[in-house]
Amino acid sequence: MSKPQLKTQLKPLDDRIVVQRLEAEEKTTGGIFLPENAKEKPQQAKVIAVGPGKLLDNGTRAVPDVKVGDVILVGKYSGTEVTVDGVEVIILRESDLLAKVG
């Protein structure tokens, strides 16, 4: 099942990034199907919007290390979860990202 898409275009400010969590695992590696309440929050997310970058002391902006479409790892409770157009997204700072996948 595909994730719903945003109708509204989000433009994050400064070094903020908007991501959408990827689907949680449906079953364990041993083949046991997990009920909805036993699933953990997935830590992989897809970047759907990137701000212009952090404003540095010299007046220039730092170029973000991620771009739209990248798959990244985030902490389980990182950022601020919001719902836009019925779609749950997370807004977080670039420094809150753990890693880029792939």
Residue 37: DSSP 8-state: G
Distance of CA 6 to the CA centre of its chain: 14
Q: 16-23+39-101: what fold?
A: 10 Kd Chaperonin, Protein Cpn10; Chain O (2.30.33)
pLDDT digits (tens, 9 = 90+) for 38-65: 555 668 999 999 999 999 999 999 999 9
Distance from C-alpha of 53 to C-alpha of 94, rounded to nearest angstrom: 9
Ordered alpha helix ranges (H), the chain: none
Residue spans per domain, the chain: 16-23+39-101
pLDDT digits (tens, 9 = 90+) for 8-35: 788 999 999 999 988 765 656 676 665 6
Query: What is the model's pLDDT at position 94?
Result: 93
